[in-house]
């Protein structure tokens, strides 16, 4: 049975920087730089320009990952795309990514399957478990796994929505999960979910339980109430359960693999809130030099946070061949996951 390893990484963030002060000055949100930094650690984030979709960001990150792996789009056997901000309600954004990459064009057209994963902030770790399993089964050789988000086009950019809109940014990260006979790669993972708290972090638009998704006015136009249109978050509940579940998931995968804290060279925690990650690191005794973070520059890019960090760390020399790393995420659902990889 082959091992599954990450053969290439890539990331892309839009060029437009939106600072905390710009949220107040340009959008009129009643907030301050100090208020946001104190609670989240975020100083700025990236927003996409009008007309830019999640698949556009994903394509940029994918091309970078393919180049880093020394592969071409013709080598890809499967696309897995994790997002909570799809290009549209359906079809899935994975097929739009396939089109953006030009995979169905020319004499070398390859109609690879495309799979979307809707596990929000833990989507990349869930996707990593799927990709690794398929590669280890011997059916596929190279899988393109992407976490991508365009939050800025679907947030309440007013004071009413400041507890959410101040947290999120746009971006995409991608990895290639490949087969190898070498003794390296994705060693194991732990996944979980607790549906009791599904409504603590949610966006109810397209609530399909109703006879029509939206009430209609006399002209047949949909009417959506703000509480359905925008994301809702109970921050205190999220914080509490994120700490608990991220610690549990990491400990369980470590016990499964007989790995100790000091065996792990780097810990890549999902970038939802720097204060959550610092608290977990303190509880587990993880030194700050082992905990990369970029939330201060990019905010929470949901499914994109971990692959963006992997790509950045590999390019700046922090992440090197032979290291043992852990990835941990928690998000809406509630869902969570952890994975350990020998780089």
According to the model, what pLDDT value does residue 189 have? Answer: 97
Give every CB contact of residue 169 below 8 A, 6+ residues apart in sequence: 13, 18, 45, 46, 47, 151, 152, 298, 299, 300, 301
Q: Which of 180, 173, 155 is nearest to 23 (CA)?
A: 155
pLDDT tens-digit readout, 118-165: 999 999 999 999 999 999 999 899 999 999 999 999 999 999 999 899
Contact 238, 231 (CB under 8 A): no
pTM above the 0.85 mark? Answer: yes
Contact 301, 271 (CB under 8 A): yes
Query: What is the spatial distance between Cα 21 and Cα 44, in angstroms, rounded to a whole number?
Result: 9
Q: Establish whether 213 is a catalytic residue.
A: no
Pairing of strands 232-233, 201-202: antiparallel
Q: How far is CA 219 from CA 168, 205, 216, 223, in A?
A: 34, 20, 8, 11
Query: What is the spatial distance between Cα 55 and Cα 51, in angstroms, rounded to a whole number?
Result: 11
According to the model, what pLDDT value does residue 227 have? Answer: 78
Which is the catalytic residue, given 119, 121, 151, 277?
121
Query: What is the spatial distance between Cα 324 and Cα 187, in angstroms, rounded to a whole number?
Result: 10
Could you say which residues of the chain have pLDDT below 70? none
According to the model, what pLDDT value does residue 20 have? Answer: 97
Choose which CATH entry (3.40.50.2000, 3.90.230.10, 2.60.60.20, 3.40.47.10) describes domain 186-199+230-342.
3.40.47.10
Which CATH number applies to 3-183?
3.40.47.10
Q: How many CB atoms lie within 10 A of CB 76?
A: 22
Q: Establish whether 3 is a catalytic residue.
A: no
Domain boundaries, the chain: 3-183, 186-199+230-342
The yes-or-no answer to whether 3-183 and 186-199+230-342 have a common fold is yes
Which is the catalytic residue, given 142, 151, 241, 270?
270
According to the model, what pLDDT value does residue 118 have? Answer: 94
Strand partners for 300: 168
Q: Establish whether 254 is a catalytic residue.
A: no
Q: How far is CA 65 from CA 31, 106, 285, 331, in A?
A: 37, 22, 33, 25
According to the model, what pLDDT value does residue 29 have? Answer: 95
């Amino acid at each position: 049975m082959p091992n599954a390893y990450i053969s290439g990484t890539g990331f892309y963030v839009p060029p437009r920087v939106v600072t905390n002060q710009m949220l107040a000055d340009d959008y009129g949100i009643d907030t301050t730089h100090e208020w946001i930094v104190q609670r989240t650690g975020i100083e700025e984030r990236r927003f996409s320009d009008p007309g830019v979709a999640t698949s556009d960001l994903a394509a940029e990150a994918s091309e970078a990952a393919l180049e880093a792996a020394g592969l071409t789009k013709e080598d890809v056997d499967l696309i897995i795309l994790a997002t909570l901000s799809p290009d549209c309600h359906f079809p899935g954004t994975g097929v739009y990514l396939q089109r953006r990459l030009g995979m169905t064009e020319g004499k070398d057209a390859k109609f690879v399957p495309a799979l979307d994963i809707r596990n929000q902030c833990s989507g990349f770790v869930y996707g990593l478990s799927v990709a690794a399993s398929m590669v280890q089964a011997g059916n596929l050789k190279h899988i393109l796994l992407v976490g991508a988000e365009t939050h800025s086009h679907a947030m309440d950019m007013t004071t009413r929505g400041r507890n959410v809109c101040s947290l999120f940014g746009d971006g995409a990260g991608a990895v290639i999960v490949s087969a190898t006979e070498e003794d390296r790669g994705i060693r194991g993972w732990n996944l979980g979910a607790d549906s009791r708290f599904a409504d603590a972090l949610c966006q109810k638009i397209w609530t399909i339980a109703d006879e029509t998704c939206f009430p209609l006015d006399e002209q047949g136009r949909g009417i959506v109430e703000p509480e359905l249109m925008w994301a809702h978050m109970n921050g205190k509940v999220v914080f509490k359960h994120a700490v608990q579940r991220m610690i549990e998931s990491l400990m369980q995968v470590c016990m499964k693999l007989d790995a100790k804290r000091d065996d792990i060279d780097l810990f890549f925690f999902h970038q939802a809130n720097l204060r959550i990650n610092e608290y977990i690191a303190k509880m587990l005794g993880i030194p700050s030099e082992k905990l990369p973070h970029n939330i201060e520059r990019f905010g929470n890019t949901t499914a994109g946070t971990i692959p963006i960090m992997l790509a950045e760390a590999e390019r700046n020399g922090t992440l090197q061949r032979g290291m043992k790393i852990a990835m941990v995420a928690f998000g809406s659902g509630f869902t969570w996951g952890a994975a350990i990889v020998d780089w």
